[in-house]
Amino acid sequence: MAVAGTTPDSVTLRAEGGVARRQAWSRASRYILLVATLLGLVVLVILGIDNAIVGIPSLDWDFLSNYPSRFAERAGIRSSILGSVWVLVFTVIFAIPVAVGAAVWMEEFAPQNGILTTVRLNIANLAGVPSIIYGILGLAVFVRLMELGPSILAGALTLALMILPMTVITSVEAINQVPPSIREGSLALGATRWQTVWNHVLPGAMPGIMTGTILAVARAAGETAALIMIGAFTFIAFDPSLSFHGLLDSFTTLPIQVYNWTIRPQPEFRANAAAGIIVLMIAVIGLNALALVVRDRLRRN
Amino acid sequence: MSIRVRSTAPTDERSREALRGRPAAEHRPSENVARPEGDLAFSISDLNLWYSGKQALTGVGLDIPRKMVTALIGPSGCGKSTLLRCLNRMNDLIPGVTIEGTVTYRNANIYGSEVDPVEVRRRIGMVFQKPNPFPKSIYDNVAFGARVNGFRGNLDDLVESSLKRAALWEEVKDDLKKSGLALSGGQQQRLCIARALANNPDVILMDEPCSALDPIATLRIEDLMRELATDYTIVVVTHNMQQAARVSDYTAFMLTDEEITGQLIEYAPTETMFTQPADQRTEAYISGRFG
Amino acid sequence: MALASSPDGSDLSRAIRKRPLSRPGESLIMLSLVLCAAVSIATTFAIVYVLFADAIGFFQEISFWHFFNPGNEWQTLFNPRSFGVWELVLGTVNVTLWSMLIALPLGLAAAVYLSEYAHVQTRRFLKPLLELLAGVPTVVYANFALTFISDDVLLPLFGDSVSFFNSLSASIMLGVMILPIIASVSEDAMASVPRDLREAAYGLGATRLEVAFRVVFPAAISGIMAAILLAIARVIGETMIVAVAAGSTPTLSLSPLESIQTMTGYMLQVALGDAARGTTDYTSLFAVGALLFLMTFVLNVAAQIIVRRFREAYE
Ligand SMILES: Nc1ncnc2c1ncn2[C@@H]1O[C@H](COP(=O)(O)OP(=O)(O)O)[C@@H](O)[C@H]1O
Ligand SMILES: [Mg+2]
């Protein structure tokens, strides 16, 4: 065996001079970038604290159960909460079947040609249309042309069109997640394509569709501009009726009520706006959290 | 960085074994490891590496001579790339890696606590399996290292001399503004070599530098390796035994068997290795009976 | 059939999916599925028809040249009325400029942090939190812009030089709102930059900071451009924040401290008033709406084209 080799000259490999400086910057950059990342969240936290301080004193049962009023201390969100719930229920009833139907057609049945590409591009573009434009559409078509007036029905149809693109997109993704082997297995047993979709693909896509639906509801729940556009900025001091005719009643929603109180010049209303914001934020954050839970829970099963 | 580096040999015997998940006694280092004479570039001893608890190198120890070409051969998955990437701390970048043992480079332990990986990589350059030029001009590719290092000399000269050393200058000198991605595969790989040379390293590590190239481009790179070995230490991973035989002075044969992952079986001057292998597994491999 | 030539299964499932329907009752189902997809196409046609039909009515009263003449004011309340849309467009440009100035550095920093620095768990925790910023109802931001940012921060800070309604308070909250768009679209682009480019740079002795900003960032630049376009589209379409906090005085100013009016702000103002059908007030809503629609449409299409090119470059 040969004699062991040697190493005449030594190095330290320590960071010195330029390298030390560059590494110092690089290490510091981690914290600088982290702070920048958190800055937006800091604003959100301040927003939460500010509204909590201003709003919590007014947040009591009376606030939840009273109708709006000219007097700040007597004003409440009863009609706007009921209006929000009612409009959102019908928004979901209108939007989800259409969105899932469109997604199923696109993923399972559509011919692979220009028509499908057109539908895809069209939906991607609709997703980027500002909500106030959907409001104009609702105003012209549902309120005026169909003569529904600024009603719950017109509001729900407007919001349904607004959330349609995003629910189609999430439904398409959910259907895509279903492994092809499931379809093949079902078809091999002699099921028709529709039976396969109904019995296997849709159940498999359910978690994704539900998650997308809940997120879309959260978005619709906070929508203000489109509903003001169709004329929902009104004073409502009655509960929506549970009849078919009730659908043609006018309505208000929680975000519209918050807007109303925000633009009042009298400072007393600031507390009402903050209390309304607390309720709205709890609802929206709750829906977002629910979406995450639903996705995890159903995915596990 | 979630790397846990343990430098130098046995510190705490129990925690070592907990990490390995297997008694240390099982592996005995190979006896067929030559010790090159003259100047050494690296001295590796008892090197172990785990990827998230899964062992990839076991008790590797060898000395790598300076200004020569050393080839690492062995079947796919035996840990050649892993070993190579230990030499310039590229494995630090993979989350969950644990490294134990010593790699000495010019009397400094590369895994020593004071060592800066950026300083290591500046001195020990690397060329990858797939040519990976930046989506920038040829010039900017070669100048990249110099620029981040705050190079104060003449950048044009540096780019020119590096491209010349990499035998690419004649082909690209009129088009330095062209994207590096517009070159052919072989040219891209020489661009990557030029880019490494521009950092003025001592060592160039090459991980299967020709596996994505056609035979003619491969030959050019092999010639280049021989030429560069007059000034640089080259460590090259290859799965091509003819290539190892053609370009290297020393060859290390690695193997993963049922029991021990990433072990060094034999290390010898290339000629000895290919004419009189000491271990029958080496013989089986170089005669093409497996891998 | 494609079966023989496609062993990988994906074509296989396509081929099976294309099998003819075997029950006649199912053609009814199929028809309804097609109708569902047709709703989206019909929506687009309806939007275009509604906007442009009434916009044409507007341009029969007010000339095109009057509308786009930068010399004309937007003054619809008193006679003589004047409909120079540039003041509204510039109001929109004003808030876009300032909100992007705020959101771009922060959003890109977040993207770089999440893609190049954060541990897997940190990213998994931070991303949904950051995304929440885009889920907050904009009326909440609007309220905060007016009652906190303007009243409690900007007025004490700038005193008399800032008006109570000002573009800056709106821009700050618009910036917070679009932060997640910029961050997550850019992060996606950075995450799809091939790993071997990072390795090449680290192998040359670059630090993490240098790898992030000299290699990953430039390689992801087109994805980042798309993020910027999408964020701009979102800002110019946002209504509540600007309507509440930025004011309702159209001006040709890019100053952040002045009261301005944006296109959407004007549209909401008309909706809140009682513009009778057929009046110029009413039709101006559609003219401004059509312009807004065109602007967001162009931005969204451009962003999609860029994203598609970027995907093709790396896949
Ligand atoms: N980043 C990694 N994470 C986990 N395991 C890895 C990683 N890289 C390599 N390995 C594993 O380590 C072993 C050795 O890999 P490698 O060094 O790439 O082999 P070679 O280059 O000889 O083909 C293989 O079993 C491989 O699966
Ligand atoms: Mg390898």
Q: Is the pLDDT of residue B43 over 80?
A: yes
Chains that touch B (3 or more CB pairs under 8 A): A, C
pLDDT of residue C67: 92
DSSP secondary structure of A203-245: HHHHHHHHHHHHHHHHHHHT--HHHHHTT------SPPPSSTG
| pLDDT by position in tens, chain C (length 315) | 333 333 444 555 555 555 555 566 788 898 999 999 999 999 999 999 999 999 999 999 999 889 998 888 898 877 788 898 999 999 999 999 999 999 999 999 999 999 999 998 999 899 989 999 999 999 999 999 999 999 999 999 998 899 999 999 999 999 999 999 999 999 999 999 999 999 999 999 999 999 999 999 999 999 999 999 999 999 999 999 999 999 999 999 999 999 999 999 999 999 998 777 778 888 999 999 999 999 999 999 999 999 888 777 776
Confidence grade of residue B11 (pLDDT, cut at 50, 70, 90): very low
pLDDT of residue A266: 85
How far C47 CA sits from the closest chain A CA (Å)?
6
**pTM of this prediction?**
0.89
Residue B267 in any domain: the answer is yes
pLDDT of residue B3: 44
Q: Give B109's strand partners.
A: B104
pLDDT of residue B23: 45
User: Could you list the residue range(s) of the whole structural domain that residue B95 is in?
Assistant: 32-132+202-286
In whole angstroms, give the CA distance from residue B249 to residue B272. Answer: 10
Region B107-117: mean pLDDT is 92
pLDDT of residue A243: 76
CB contact under 8 A, B110 and A12: no
pLDDT of residue C246: 95
Length of chain B equals 291
CB contact under 8 A, B192 and C200: yes
Option in B63, B104, B122 nearest A19 (CB): B122
The residue nearest atom 12 of ligand 1, judged by CA position, is: B56
CATH number for position B212: 3.40.50.300
Ligand 1 pocket, residue B76 CB under 6 Å: yes
Q: Which of A199, A21, A197, A166 is nearest to A96 (CA)?
A: A166
**Burial (0-12, 13-18, 19+ Cβ within 10 Å), C261:** buried
Residues in chain A closer than 8 A to C11 (CB atoms): none
The residue nearest atom 21 of ligand 1, judged by CA position, is: B81
Q: Is the pLDDT of residue A165 over 60?
A: yes
Give how many domains chain A has, as a whole number: 1
Option in A108, A125, A193 nearest C300 (CB): A125
In whole angstroms, give the CA distance from residue B106 to residue B124. Answer: 12
Three state DSSP letters for chain B: CCCEEEECCCCCHHHHHHHHCCCHHHCCCCCCECCCCCEEEEEEEEEEEEECCEEEEEEEEEEEECCCEEEEECCCCCCHHHHHHHCCCHHHHCCCEEEEEEEEECCEECCCCCECHHHHHHHEEEECCCCCCCCCEHHHHHHHHHHHCCCCCCHHHHHHHHHHHCCCHHHHCCCCCCEHHHCCHHHHHHHHHHHHHCCCCCEEEEECCCCCCCHHHHHHHHHHHHHHCCCCEEEEECCCHHHHHHHCCEEEEEECCCCCCCEEEEEEEHHHHHHCCCCHHHHHHHCCCCC
Residue A29 in any domain: the answer is no
CB contact under 8 A, C214 and B93: no
Residue A41 in any domain: the answer is no
Q: How far is the CA of C305 from the centre of ligand 2 (A)?
A: 37
Ligand 1 pocket, residue B80 CB under 6 Å: yes
Q: Is the pLDDT of residue B273 over 70?
A: yes
Residue A241 in any domain: the answer is yes
Q: Is the pLDDT of residue A103 over 70?
A: yes
- Express each pLDDT in A21-37 by its tens digit: 999 999 999 999 999 99
Q: Which atom of ligand 1 approaches the CA of B51 most closely?
A: 4
How confident is the prediction for chain A on average, in pLDDT?
Answer: 90
Please indicate if any CB of chain C lies within 8 Å of the CB of A21: no
| % residues pLDDT > 70 (chain A) | 98
User: Could you list the residue range(s) of the whole structural domain that residue A122 is in?
Assistant: 74-300
pLDDT of residue A7: 74
Q: How distant, in Å, are the alpha carbons of A46, A255, C148 from that of C164?
A: 21, 23, 11
Q: Is the pLDDT of residue A215 over 50?
A: yes
- Express each pLDDT in A168-210 by its tens digit: 999 999 999 898 888 888 888 888 888 889 988 999 999 899 9
Q: Is the peptide bond before B201 cis (omega within 30 degrees of 0)?
A: no
Q: How far is CA C301 from the centre of its chain?
A: 12
Q: How far is the CA of B79 from the centre of ligand 1 (A)?
A: 6
CATH number for position A233: 1.10.3720.10
pLDDT of residue C142: 97
How many residue pairs from chains A and C have C-beta atoms closer than 8 A? 270
| Mutate which: B118, B123, B250, vs A, most A CBs within 10 A | B118
Please indicate if any CB of chain B lies within 8 Å of the CB of A30: no
pLDDT of residue B1: 37
- Express each pLDDT in A120-146 by its tens digit: 999 999 999 999 999 999 999 999 999
Give how many domains chain B has, as a whole number: 1
Q: Is the pLDDT of residue B206 over 60?
A: yes
CB contact under 8 A, A18 and B150: yes
Among the bound ligands, the one closest to the CA of B262:
1
In whole angstroms, give the CA distance from residue B47 to residue B56. Answer: 10
Q: How far is the CA of A1 from the centre of ligand 1 (A)?
A: 32
How many residue pairs from chains A and B have C-beta atoms closer than 8 A? 75
The residue nearest atom 14 of ligand 1, judged by CA position, is: B79
Residues in chain A closer than 8 A to C17 (CB atoms): 108-109, 183, 193
Q: Which listed CATH number (1.10.579.10, 3.40.50.620, 1.10.3720.10, 3.40.50.2300) goes with C74-314?
A: 1.10.3720.10
Residue B275 in any domain: the answer is yes
Option in A51, A122, A141 nearest C41 (CB): A122
CB contact under 8 A, C50 and A259: no
Domain ranges of chain C: 74-314
Which chain B residue has the Cα nearest residue A14? Answer: B115
Q: How far is the CA of B39 from the centre of ligand 2 (A)?
A: 27
Region A264-279: mean pLDDT is 91
pLDDT of residue C277: 75
- What are C46's two structure tokens? 């309806």
Residue B166 in any domain: the answer is no
- Express each pLDDT in B147-186 by its tens digit: 998 888 999 999 999 999 999 999 999 999 999 999 999 9
Option in A33, A106, A181 nearest C37 (CB): A106
Which chain A residue has the Cα nearest residue B145? Answer: A19
- Express each pLDDT in B67-87 by its tens digit: 999 999 999 999 999 999 999
Residue A69 in any domain: the answer is no
Residue B152 in any domain: the answer is no
Which residue would you say has higher pLDDT here, A110 or A245? Answer: A110
